Amino acid sequence: MNLLNSNFVRAAAVVVGVAASATIAHAGQISGAGATFPYPIYAKWAQAYQAKTGMGLNYQSIGSGGGIKQIQAKTVTFGASDKPLKSDVLDKYGLAQFPMIMGGIVPIVNVEGIKPGELVIDGETLANIFLGKISKWNDPEIAAINPGVNLPSKSIAVVHRSDGSGTTFNFTNYLNKVSSSWKSTVGSDTSVQWPVGIGAKGNEGVANMVKQTGDSIGYVEYAYAKQNALSYTKMKNKEGHVVAPTSDAFQAAAANADWAHAPGYRLILTDQPGAGSWPITAASFILMYKKPVDDKASSEALKFFEWAYHNGGDAAASLDYIPMPMSVVKMVEDTWQKDIKDSHGKALAFR
Amino acid sequence: MSGAEENTFPTGPATPDDGTAGPRSWIGKAFSSVSLSAAIIVMLSLGGVMYTLSIGAAPALKEFGLGFLTAEVWNPVTSQFGAAAPIAGTLETALIAMLIGVPISVGIAIFLTELCPEKLRHGFAITIELLAGIPSIIYGIWGLFVLAPYMQRHIQPFLIDRFGDIPIIGNLFQGPPYGIGILTAGLILGVMVLPFITTVTRDVFLTVPSLQRESAYALGATTTEVIWNVVIPYSKVGMLGAIMLGLGRALGETMAVTFVIGNAHRISASILAPGTTISASIANEFTEATTPIYTSSLFALGLILFVITFIVLSVAQYMLHRIKKAEG
Amino acid sequence: MDIYAKRKLINRLSLAFATVATAFGLFWLAIIMWTLLSKGITSLNLILFTETTPPPGASGGLSNAIFGSVFMNALAIMIAAPLGILAGTYLAEYARDSKLGAVARFVNDILLSAPSIIIGMFVYELMVVPMGHFSAWAGTVALAIIAIPVIVRTTQDSLLLVPDRLREAASALGAPRWRVITSISYRAAKGGILTGVLLALARVSGETAPLLFTALNNQFWSTDLNAPMANLPVVIFQYALSPYVDWQKLAWSGALLITAAVLFINITARLLASRDRSTKRI
């Protein structure tokens, strides 16, 4: 057959050849997917870890909902979620869960003339904005807690997440705690039925959309606000103090955490007591199979986490994440030893 | 070879054709069966798509019944899902796209066939066709970074100020100017379908016999009158086919819309409001749907989109087929 | 106003509309191209082709995504071309007027315009779920399914352009059917078929939706067909929707690269087609 002549055939041979050899040369790589909340720090760790060990981490930030789904579907070695799963769900799928990093969720605004940290907001007001009850920036309720701030008479453009999101889970969990009308009409989960606003994908998407859209408000993990110089707000916390989103404020909230007594490390850190506590603080979790499909890949993943716990603190601090305290790391390592076993029933190596 | 052979070349028994005789007759047999298998694989892939979507959609359709089509609720927390908002968004954006795309496409087709200097005709036509080749993600990124901010700053405030207070029509122009939303998505789609509709319409116009055209001119008709009384009546069916083809594209387009639709599962009277379309919902939520019923609901959305586009495209094929037949 | 003046005026107005409509269509092309060029060219440098996609805040390029796209597209075309050409051959040479042919033609035309995201869902169920993970293979198959109808259609159309006189002449000389097809029809329609393959390549090069659930994406360089693979469209999607300025810049560069490649392939295909048509007219 002289069809399309032999060049075509030759090209085909080359591609098939490359394909075959590529399949054999399986490069070392850990695959994970999930939460966008910790993505900036995971990406930073991954780069440093690859430079050191040659082992890459392919982490796709597709949202916590995605992380939960993909680990259940066993398409990844680990899933990541900012919504901790309950023990019965963990047992049902045979999953181990442990916290990896903590951080703060901050409201971000794009209003002309408003500088980062200039606006103060409390839980009730935040809930009313996201319920659509407050629709103008110069609403008396906002003005009352912001004396002296020049608020425009513009409509508020609300930006929320469109994907299943642990950031949304923690954000709505907080609104649930502070607003009864939020609790009765919307509720709390990784994705909810938003009364108003536009949806954006991931923390990245919300940050981008707020940046793009004038007079808007959204909520993101603090690293996204910081890296992109977005105007975050201060917040009034449980004890009525106005706090700025800083690592100290996140740390203060995290200090209340009692990891030792939480089954499956299931802890939610919103609306914590303490004068300096940031009200929407959250931990991000890793989900892994107790009996992994691929022992070697899972072992490599644990080695990465182990490295990140012990060597990733500075990188975390530079992005204002809060590393897990060493006491918690010790507990997590014990959990690994105890729960995550290879096909012969032996604990997976992580050092 | 069976009935598939009938009426095609070669017809008579005199041909030393596939497999009846000759030393290398097996090659002919093999060749025809391999090409038949290839055609069957093509057909199977459509069948596979239909089958997969139906199987995937079954749990959701069983759970919610026909109410799935009319419920606006989309709540992963309570596992209640309804397709009304994405269906409405899909139809709305496609309608806006058609309102913009059709008159302009027909205008361009008229320009290309009746007005354009002979020398430039080919160049213009190719340029418009190249517009069809631009990947939809490019329209999306452009829509988000260039069109949406312009809409938010200029077009939408103007629409709200100008029309927002008029009774009834005013409902279309309510709410804060987000920049992105149903109208912006419709606009982008309108630009995207331009080249598709234009190219097919132009081809249809070119099938009008020049005899008819010239007779009308000879009777003293103006160009416009020739277009209205000769070209368009002659090309009616084909034009409709072209429009349906464009509509099929607009209904199923994903990336361009996902960037600028706003991803909100709500039906609003206002075309400035954010919404969602079937394809945008799937693109955004498919990899992250956590529960089986959530995933199944997305499959059901996919099935609905498939059925809608299948009908529209079938009508388009039928119309364009008729034109081809008429052409001889 | 007398009737002649009125007719003239209407004529002028409607012709003006047609001209304005054309200007409008070209205006969009111009403005999109201008945006692409002005935003994409600023970070168009060597690093783009030598470094992989960076995490936020670090510098990097698109090399892994460029490789992934080229690789998956090429592989998809390798799968789609033989299948599409054979199916197109069947439609044009064996089933011109048969029922089965009519059905296959109809199915193919539906597939040609079917929403590509649905193809993505199909391949997700077909491959990602059974295999247990996203993979370049799945992405390749999804792209191939999109490319096939384009090739079937163009193969069929260009074979139908081959005059039956040629086939009759060859048959009269005693050539069996398959020989007529391979030596006469294919030879005459070669340019048209190649054009179709190129158009299919252009079409899949920009496809994003079907890759979202199949090839997914990969931050690193990967040549493993059984693992997720980076590709330009998904990287553009992800980076454009991010707030990071350097990511957005990369997205624009990627967009410029894709568009340039697609336009280049399209124009090449058209040149081939026009050259071919001029030689074919006997």
For residue A20, tell me if it sits in a domain. no
Class of the domain covering B87-273: mainly alpha
Q: Is the pLDDT at B325 greater than 90, yes or no?
A: no
Residue corresponding to tokens 């041909």? B15
| Whole-angstrom distance, CA of residue A77 vs CA of residue C25 | 49
For residue A75, tell me if it sits in a domain. yes
Q: Is the pLDDT at A265 greater than 90, yes or no?
A: yes
Please list every residue in chain B whose beta carbon sits closer than 8 Å to the beta carbon of residue C271: none
Q: Is the pLDDT at C278 greater than 60, yes or no?
A: no
Q: Which of C78, C83, C143, C245 to mutate to test the interface with A (most CBs of A within 10 A)?
A: C78
DSSP structure string for A148-206 = T----S-B-EEEEESS--HHHHHHHHHHHHH-HHHHHHT--SSS---SSSEEESHHHHH
Q: Is the pLDDT at A65 greater than 90, yes or no?
A: no
For residue A344, tell me if it sits in a domain. no
Q: Which amino acid is present at C51?
A: E
- The contacts of residue C30 (CB under 8 Å, 6+ apart) are none
**So what's the pLDDT on residue B116?**
86
Of residues A154 and A1, more confidently modeled: A154
Please list every residue in chain C whose beta carbon sits closer than 8 Å to the beta carbon of residue A43: 55-56, 219
Q: Which domain holds residue A67?
A: 30-103+281-339
pLDDT range class, residue A72, cuts 50, 70, 90: confident
A58·C219 Cβ contact <8 A: yes
Q: Are residues A179 and A250 in the same domain?
A: yes
Kindly identify which residue of chain A lies nearest to residue C59, measuring between CA atoms. A47
- The contacts of residue A156 (CB under 8 Å, 6+ apart) are A129, A134, A135, A136, A137, A215, A216, A217, B176
What pairs with residue A106 in β-bridges?
Answer: A220
Please list every residue in chain B whose beta carbon sits closer than 8 Å to the beta carbon of residue C203: 133
Q: Is the pLDDT at B15 greater than 50, yes or no?
A: no
pLDDT, one tens digit per residue, over B91-138 is: 999 999 999 999 999 999 999 998 888 888 888 888 888 888 899 999
Task: Measure CB to CB from residue C209 to each of B9, B111, B255 and give the nearest one.
Answer: B255
CA C203, chain centre distance (Å): 1
Please list every residue in chain C whose beta carbon sits closer than 8 Å to the beta carbon of residue A202: 241-242
Q: Are residues A75 and A185 in the same domain?
A: no
Q: Are residues A130 and A224 in the same domain?
A: yes
| Whole-angstrom distance, CA of residue A317 vs CA of residue A297 | 28
pLDDT range class, residue B327, cuts 50, 70, 90: low
Kindly identify which residue of chain C lies nearest to residue B248, measuring between CA atoms. C113
Instruction: Answer whether B86 touches A (CB < 8 Å).
Output: no
Kindly identify which residue of chain B lies nearest to residue C13, measuring between CA atoms. B224
C55·A44 Cβ contact <8 A: yes
Q: Is the peptide bond before B10 cis (omega within 30 degrees of 0)?
A: yes
Kindly identify which residue of chain C lies nearest to residue B255, measuring between CA atoms. C209
C57·A44 Cβ contact <8 A: yes
Please list every residue in chain A whose beta carbon sits closer than 8 Å to the beta carbon of residue B78: 187
pLDDT, one tens digit per residue, over B243-273 is: 999 999 999 999 999 999 998 999 988 999 9
pLDDT range class, residue A5, cuts 50, 70, 90: very low
Q: Which of C51, C134, C242 to mutate to test the interface with A (most CBs of A within 10 A)?
A: C242
- What CATH number corresponds to the domain at position A334? 3.40.190.10
* Measured CA distances, A67 to A70, A93, A162, A167, C209 (Å): 5, 14, 15, 13, 20
End-of-domain residue from the set A255, A273, A301: A255
A212·B153 Cβ contact <8 A: no
Q: Among B154-158, B203-207, B287-291, C99-103, where is mean pLDDT lowest?
A: B287-291
C18·B124 Cβ contact <8 A: no
For residue C166, what are its two tokens? 């040629």
Q: Is the pLDDT at A66 greater than 90, yes or no?
A: no
| Whole-angstrom distance, CA of residue B124 vs CA of residue B187 | 22
The phi and psi torsions of A17 (rounded to 5 degrees) equal -60, -50
Please list every residue in chain B whose beta carbon sits closer than 8 Å to the beta carbon of residue A164: 76, 285, 288-290
C17·B52 Cβ contact <8 A: no
Q: Among A3-12, A37-46, A47-56, B192-201, where is mean pLDDT lowest?
A: A3-12
**So what's the pLDDT on residue C281?**
37
Q: Are residues A68 and A158 in the same domain?
A: no
Of C139, C136, C143, the residue nearest C223 (C-alpha): C136
Query: pLDDT > 90: what percent of chain C?
Result: 63
**So what's the pLDDT on residue A28?**
64
Kindly identify which residue of chain B lies nearest to residue A193, measuring between CA atoms. B75
Task: Measure CB to CB from residue A197 to each of B179, B264, B295 and give the nearest one.
Answer: B264
Q: Are residues A47 and A120 in the same domain?
A: no
Q: Are residues A160 and A238 in the same domain?
A: yes
Task: Measure CB to CB from residue A58 to each of C71, C218, C225 and give the nearest one.
Answer: C218
Bridge pairing between strands A95-110 and A216-221: antiparallel
Task: Report the number of distinct structural domains present in chain A.
Answer: 2
Query: pLDDT > 70: what percent of chain A?
Result: 92
Other C-beta atoms lying within 10 Å of the C-beta of residue A279: 26
Task: Measure CB to CB from residue C182 to each of A3, A204, A208 and give the nearest one.
Answer: A3
| Whole-angstrom distance, CA of residue B159 vs CA of residue C69 | 42
- The contacts of residue C26 (CB under 8 Å, 6+ apart) are B124, B127, B128
The answer for C 243-262 residues in CB contact with B (under 8 A) is 248, 251-252, 255, 258-259, 262
Other C-beta atoms lying within 10 Å of the C-beta of residue B233: 11
Identify the structural domains of chain C with CATH numbers, from first to last. Answer: 71-279 (1.10.3720.10)
pLDDT, one tens digit per residue, over C219-272 is: 788 888 988 899 999 999 989 988 888 899 999 999 999 999 999 999 999 888
Please list every residue in chain A whose beta carbon sits closer than 8 Å to the beta carbon of residue B297: none
Q: Which amino acid is present at B250?
A: A
| Whole-angstrom distance, CA of residue A219 vs CA of residue A96 | 29
The chains in contact with chain A, meaning 3 or more Cβ pairs closer than 8 Å, are B, C
Kindly identify which residue of chain C lies nearest to residue B21, measuring between CA atoms. C176
Q: A241-248 long-range contacts, Cβ below 8 Å, gap at least 24?
A: A241/A275, A241/A276, A242/A120, A243/A276, A243/A277, A243/A278, A243/A279, A244/A117, A245/A104, A245/A106, A245/A278, A245/A320, A246/A278, A246/A320, A247/A317, A247/A320, A247/A321, A247/A322, A248/A276
pLDDT, one tens digit per residue, over A156-209 is: 999 999 877 889 999 999 999 999 999 999 999 888 889 999 999 889 999 999
DSSP state, residue A270: B
Contacts B–C by Cβ distance under 8 A: 302
For residue A181, tell me if it sits in a domain. yes
**So what's the pLDDT on residue B20?**
46
Task: Measure CB to CB from residue C225 to each of A19, A58, A230 and give the nearest one.
Answer: A19
Q: Are residues A163 and A215 in the same domain?
A: yes
pLDDT, one tens digit per residue, over A29-45 is: 788 999 989 998 998 89
In chain B, domain spans: 87-273
pLDDT, one tens digit per residue, over C190-223 is: 999 999 999 999 999 999 999 998 998 887 888 8
Kindly identify which residue of chain A lies nearest to residue C222, measuring between CA atoms. A27
Query: pLDDT > 70: what percent of chain C?
Result: 97
Helix pair angle (B25-64, C136-161), 10° resolution: 130
DSSP state, residue B253: -
Q: Are residues A174 and A297 in the same domain?
A: no
Please list every residue in chain A whose beta carbon sits closer than 8 Å to the beta carbon of residue B289: 65, 69, 164
**So what's the pLDDT on residue A10?**
55
pLDDT range class, residue C277, cuts 50, 70, 90: low
For residue A170, tell me if it sits in a domain. yes
For residue A118, tell me if it sits in a domain. yes
**So what's the pLDDT on residue B8?**
47
Q: Are residues A35 and A58 in the same domain?
A: yes
- DSSP reduced 3-state for A216: strand
For residue A270, tell me if it sits in a domain. no
Please list every residue in chain B whose beta carbon sits closer than 8 Å to the beta carbon of residue A215: 176
Q: Are residues A56 and A177 in the same domain?
A: no
Q: Judge whether B54 and C100 are in contact, CB under 8 Å.
A: no
Instruction: Answer whether C215 touches B (CB < 8 Å).
Output: no
- pTM here is 0.87
What are the E-state strand segments in B56-211?
A: 74-75, 80-81
For residue A98, tell me if it sits in a domain. yes
